[in-house]
Structures are given as structure tokens and as C-alpha cells.
Amino acid sequence: MGFRFDLLLFTIALLSVPVLSDLILSRVDRRIDLTSQVVRITSTLKVENAGSDLVSEVLLAFPDSQAKHLAYLSASSTEGKGKAKGSAVSFPVEIVHPKGMPPALTFYSVSLPKGLGKGDSLTLDVLAVFKGALQPFPEKITQADIQLVVFYETAYYLSPYVVKVQSLSVKLPDARIESFTKIENTKIHGSEIKYGPYENLPPFSYSPIVVHFEANQPFAIAQELVREIEISHWGNVQVTEHYNLVHGGAESKGEFSRLDFQARPHVRGASAIRHLVAKLPPRVHSIYYRDEIGNISTSNLWGDHKKTEMVIEPRYPMFGGWRTAFTIGYSLPLQDFLFQSEGKRYVNISFGSPVNEVVIDTLIVKVVLPEGSTDISVSAPFSVKQGQETKVSHLDLVGRPVVVLEKTNVVPEHNQHFQVYYKFSSLSMLMEPLMLISGFFFIFVACIVYMHVDLSISKSSPSYLAKLQWDEVQAAVQQVRNIINRCLMIHDKLEASLRDLSRTGDVQACKSARKALDGLLKDLSKDLKPLLASLQSSQQAVQILPKVEELVGKERDLQERMMAKHSAVVDSYEKKSSGREIENRVALQQQKITALRQEVDDLLDLIDEI
């Protein structure tokens, strides 16, 4: 009904509108592509200047209802004619509010830098991309239903100029067409509907048409996408993209049956989002795909030297109205995206999402530059909201400057490169490693200083001196213990030599062993003397000295008895006495030795404890 009313308005307005300028559109061809969720209208306008003045702008008109969906608009012209078309020149387009125009219309003006002289003509290619212009109807479907959408357009090209000849073709996906408006000259060819040609229509001619058709392609809409591009001059560009995805098609109602979905996937749940394809740059590495509860295992990656393709499946198939959120991240080599010009560095990287099927409500691109970057400026091919913030990361002192670009209603056409210029000295790169190195260096230096500096306040206090002496005493006692231990070991050796003797009967070897060991023992007792003397001189050793002396005495006793026993055994071997006889002879000795050994062991442990 609204459209009817609008139309009424137009016609009323039409009567009062003066002819705007002398431009005439001699031919208009429009092609509407409805095969995806994004509506693309490509119009080829042949503009003629019928007046006498130089005209420098061409107005494009859209009804407000359509203009609110408009996401991208570009106008270009190709030089030359026929097949020898030159390079396309694009013209700046901006929104204008000319006076005296009918209401409920939004105007965009294409400025022609060269202007259009009298009688000249120009072919203008206008691409308008609409997001969300397809409305699901019915709005709620069950799993078994197919998804139908409607699209509203005007059969006549809405323009403030006279249009001489025009035609319109609507390309639909290869599926069922529920209905479409039939007016004169309407033809249908397979999945393409053709309107026109219509001739000589006055300005603001309007004839609404509606197409209602089956659209099973997924309506993946990212309500918010935050892309964070972090530049590291150590050779890496880290891109992290946080998606907040919703299926914007007809909402599903009623049951979801996995059985139906698995058994007849193309009938039950045809419009579900099963997977998305992200086209990443070549030489991308360290790719991940996860959400807040961890890695999502359903993804796949292909790559060659031109591109890398990642197929990502959400955790569950998404039906109309279902939501999900996930994060993908990847690293890129720095040299592919960072360049230098005129003493400045600039990052040249794509703006939109690498996932082509997705349209984005709000896209926030954050470019995190290295710490210490200055003179930051952004150049983008279309208007974006700019901001700045800082991000503090590891080892940052002041934080990294972040350029924040925000844009609403982003379609794949926005996937163009933009540039961030900044100045950065390579020496700043070394700051963080130097910081780390110096930090560790100071820690070690502090440790060394602490270990080597005597921090006691008074060097002459009695307790300090006592501690020093006590340390000396302890060292001496330790040495004494070591020596005693070695003596004990030599005793064990003597015993062993006796055992050898009983086995082999080699008296000479045994004797020589005794001689050698005896020498060793002598040396040890020599070593012991100065130690004992130092202990006796020390006051601190008063407590421990008697024990030590007792130990040394016992050990000497043990030594003597050991020797005596040894020589006795060797003697009796020389005399070829019987084993029992030897045993009888040394039995007493042996007992004493065992007792002494026991005492020495006890004393050692006792001293150890003190």
C-alpha cells in the first residue's frame, strides 16, 4: 500500500517539478542480479546533453525505501567505443539534496570532471549494490518449507531526466518463481524476466514490480565483524577476525529434526548455512578457527601460489534466525603488505571480510601499528568513520597506536585495498629486546652483588665474629671427618687384603698392600695434626673438641689394633697355621676392633649432628 501512496505522491510532485536540466538519457539498460542475498543493479546510462550549457553532474534517484538498503554505489565510464574499450574511469559520487525535487527520493550526484558539452554524450555504468533488499516471505518457515523472498523494484527507470529507450532484465536464481508482476512487454526466459523496451517516458516515471521467488542461498549476515590487523616489523601481519553471524533469511519455526536434515538435506533445510568459504591471500600461515569454547574442528584448507581457500563449517548448520559467533585468525608475511614511499611506510591491505558470502552490518577494522609510529593517516576508497585508540600489549611502554575504521552496511564490493601511512624508525624495533636484555642483566647483576656483598651492619660485633669462627670450626671438623672416613676406608681395604690372602695365600702381596696402606694412614694422621691444633686454638670448638679428640683417639687405637691383627694374620699365614688357629689368635683383637669401629661410627654420627 505504501508504494501506491508513494506513487500518488510522485505523480502529484511530478506536475510541479520543473525540468531539471537539459540532459536526456537516450538509452538505459538495467540488469538486476538477484542470485545472491546481495542485490546488484547494473545500469548502463547513455547520457546526452540536449541543452546549451556545460553540465558537470548527473543525478541518480532512488526511492527512500530502496536507498536505505543501498550499500555501495559507483559510477564509471569507459572511454572509446565498441570492442576497443579503454580503461574505465570512475567518477566521484556523493549524496545531494537538490531543491524542488519530489519527497521520498534520495539523490546521488555523479560529478563529471570534464563536464558534458553541448550535444556530447557519455555512457555511464552505474553499479548499485543493495543489502537486505530481499525480504523473506513468509517470514517464518518450518524446516520442510522452502525459503521465498520478495523483491520490489520499478519497471521504469526512476530518473529526473527524460528516458528515451529503456529495458530491464531481472536475473533470478535457478529455482522456482512464485510470482512476478506482469505489465506490458514482459517476457520470461528461464530464470530471467525481461521488462521493456519502453520508450519516451517522462521524468519520475514509476511502475512498481514485485518478484516473489525461491531463494535457497544462505543469508549469512555478520552483525558485527571486528578485524584486527596487527603489524609487526619483525615480519608478520596478524589478522584476527571476530564474526557475529546470523542467518538473516526466513526464521525457522517448530522442530528441528536432525534426522530430516541428514536424510534429505536438500529438501529439509535447503536454506541452511552449511559452510562458508574464506578466500585468504597466498602465503598465509598459522591459521586458526575457533570460538569461545575452543577450536572448531570442522574446517578445511586448500592453497596454491595464488590464493588460499579455507572452508569453515559452523559448529551446527544454521537455520533462519540462528546465530553463531566465531573467530578466525591468520598470519601474513609482512613484505606482501607493507611498502615504503616518500619516507613513509604504508600498509596496503583489503578492507572487507575474506568470506565472500557474508554481508556485514557493522565492520570495524583496527590496524594496530608498532609502538612508536607517528604521522598516521588513512586513505580509503570510500568514506569510513575514523578513530584512534591505543592498545597495550606485551612489553609496551606507551601502547601501540591503533587506527579504527568503522563502516556500516558492507558488501563484498567494499573488499578493496586501503592504505594506512605512518612513520616508524627501524631502531624502535630493538627497544623491546633491549629492554628484556637489560632487565635480565640487572637481575643477574643484583644477584651477584647480593651474593658478594657482606651485609652485616657491624663487623666487630661479637656475634658476627663468633659466626665467622664457628664457620671455621665447622670446616675443620668437616675435614677431620673426611680424614677419619678415609682412614676407615683404608681399614676396610686391609680387611679385604686379608680376605684375598685367605683366598690366594699370597703373603707378599698382602704385605706390600699393608705397607702401602700404612703409608697412607701415616699421611692422613699428619694431615690431621694441624686441623686438631686449629680446633684447639679456637674458642668456639670447646663444645665439639672433646668429641673430636675422642674420635681421633679411638681411630688411632683402631688403627693400631687393625695393624696388629693384620700382621698377626700374615704371620700365622707365613707359619702355615690352620685357619682355626688364626681365628683363635685374632678373635680377641677382632672383638675389640668391632667394638671400636662401632664407637667410631657412633662418634661420627654424633659430630655430624652437632
Partner 1 sequence: MQRVPSYISRSVAGSYDNEAVAIFALIFTFYLYIKTLNTGSLFYATLNAISYFYMVCSWGGYTFIINLIPMHVLLCIVTGRYSSRLYIAYAPLVVLGTLLASLVPVVGFNAVMTSEHFASFLVFIIIHVVALVYYIKGILSPKMFKVAVTFVVSIGLVVCGAALAVLIALVASSPTKGWSGRSLSLLDPTYASKYIPIIASVSEHQPPTWPSYFMDINVLAFLVPAGIIACFLPLSDASSFVILYIVTSVYFSGVMVRLMLVLAPAACIMSGIALSAAFDVFTRSIKFQLPGATENFERDAGETSSNSVVAQNDVAKTEKNEDAVKERPSKKNRKKEKENVEKPSVKSQIKKKLLILPLEASIIAIFLLVLLGAFYVVHCVWAAAEAYSAPSIVLTSHSHDGLHVFDDFREAYAWLSHNTEVDDKVASWWDYGYQTTAMANRTVIVDNNTWNNTHIATVGTAMSSPEKAAWEIFNSLDVKYVLVVFGGLVGYPSDDINKFLWMVRIGGGVFPHIKEPDYLRDGQYRIDSQATPTMLNCLMYKLSYYRFVETDGKAFDRVRRTEIGKKYFKLTHFEEVFTTHHWMVRIYKLKPLKNRIRGRAKKSKSKASSTTSTKRIGMKKKNPWH
Closest by CA to 403, choosing from 364, 434, 439, is 364
Instruction: Decide whether 317 or 370 has the Cβ nearer to partner 1.
Output: 317
Distance in Å, CB of 551 to partner 1, minimum: 14
Instruction: Decide whether 223 or 415 has the Cβ nearer to partner 1.
Output: 223
Closest by CA to 43, choosing from 159, 177, 142, 133, is 159
Instruction: Decide whether 581 or 608 has the Cβ nearer to partner 1.
Output: 608
Distance in Å, CB of 225 to partner 1, minimum: 16
Distance in Å, CB of 482 to partner 1, minimum: 7
Instruction: Decide whether 212 or 547 has the Cβ nearer to partner 1.
Output: 212
Residue 425 CA, chain-centre distance (Å), reads: 25
Burial category of 4 from C-beta neighbours within 10 Å (exposed 0-12, middle 13-18, buried 19 and up): exposed
**C-beta atoms surrounding 503 within 10 Å:** 8
What span, in angstroms and rounded, lies between the C-alpha atoms of 112 and 48?
13
Task: List Cβ neighbours of 514 (8 Å cut-off, separation of 6 or more).
Answer: 494, 497, 563, 566, 567, 570
Instruction: Decide whether 325 or 563 has the Cβ nearer to partner 1.
Output: 325
Residue where the block lists cell 597495550: 392
Instruction: Decide whether 245 or 378 has the Cβ nearer to partner 1.
Output: 245
How many residues in the chain? 610
What span, in angstroms and rounded, lies between the C-alpha atoms of 50 and 119?
6
Instruction: Decide whether 20 or 488 has the Cβ nearer to partner 1.
Output: 488
Distance in Å, CB of 526 to partner 1, minimum: 16
Closest by CA to 533, choosing from 578, 472, 457, is 472
What span, in angstroms and rounded, lies between the C-alpha atoms of 209 and 458?
102
DSSP secondary structure, 76-135, as one string: EEE-S-TT----EEEE-EEEE--TT--SSEEEEEEEEEEEE-TT-EEEEEEEEEEES-SE
Instruction: Decide whether 298 or 362 has the Cβ nearer to partner 1.
Output: 298
Distance in Å, CB of 45 to partner 1, minimum: 28
CB 161 within 8 A of CB 101: no
Instruction: Decide whether 91 or 289 has the Cβ nearer to partner 1.
Output: 289
Instruction: Decide whether 20 or 301 has the Cβ nearer to partner 1.
Output: 301
Distance in Å, CB of 557 to partner 1, minimum: 18
Distance in Å, CB of 209 to partner 1, minimum: 10
Instruction: Decide whether 138 or 387 has the Cβ nearer to partner 1.
Output: 138
Distance in Å, CB of 324 to partner 1, minimum: 5
Distance in Å, CB of 428 to partner 1, minimum: 36
Distance in Å, CB of 183 to partner 1, minimum: 14
Q: How wide is the angle at C-alpha 439 spanned by C-alphas 436 and 442, nearest 5°?
A: 150
Instruction: Decide whether 254 or 381 has the Cβ nearer to partner 1.
Output: 254
Strands 359-368 and 400-410, how do they pair? antiparallel
Instruction: Decide whether 178 or 557 has the Cβ nearer to partner 1.
Output: 178
Distance in Å, CB of 499 to partner 1, minimum: 11
**C-beta atoms surrounding 231 within 10 Å:** 23
Give the C-alpha distances (Å, rounded to integers) separating 78 from 86, 116, 473. 6, 15, 102
Distance in Å, CB of 2 to partner 1, minimum: 10
Show the 3-state SS of 220-275. Answer: EEEEEEEEEEEEECCCEEEEEEEEEEEECCCEECCCCCHHHHHHCCCCCCCCCECC
C-alpha cell at 110: 555523479
Closest by CA to 167, choosing from 198, 125, 127, 193, is 198
Distance in Å, CB of 475 to partner 1, minimum: 13
What span, in angstroms and rounded, lies between the C-alpha atoms of 116 and 121?
7
Residue 72 CA, chain-centre distance (Å), reads: 30
**C-beta atoms surrounding 111 within 10 Å:** 14
What span, in angstroms and rounded, lies between the C-alpha atoms of 590 and 596?
10
Distance in Å, CB of 177 to partner 1, minimum: 12
Backbone dihedral region for residue 357 (phi beyond 0: left; psi -120 to 50: alpha; all else: beta): alpha
Residues that bind partner 1 (CB under 8 A): 1, 3, 137-138, 150, 152, 178-179, 208, 210, 212, 254-259, 263, 291, 293-294, 296-298, 315-316, 322-325, 482, 485-486, 489-490, 492-493, 496, 598, 601-602, 605, 608-609
Distance in Å, CB of 589 to partner 1, minimum: 17
Instruction: Decide whether 256 or 464 has the Cβ nearer to partner 1.
Output: 256
CB 39 within 8 A of CB 217: no
What span, in angstroms and rounded, lies between the C-alpha atoms of 418 and 363?
14
Instruction: Decide whether 221 or 490 has the Cβ nearer to partner 1.
Output: 490
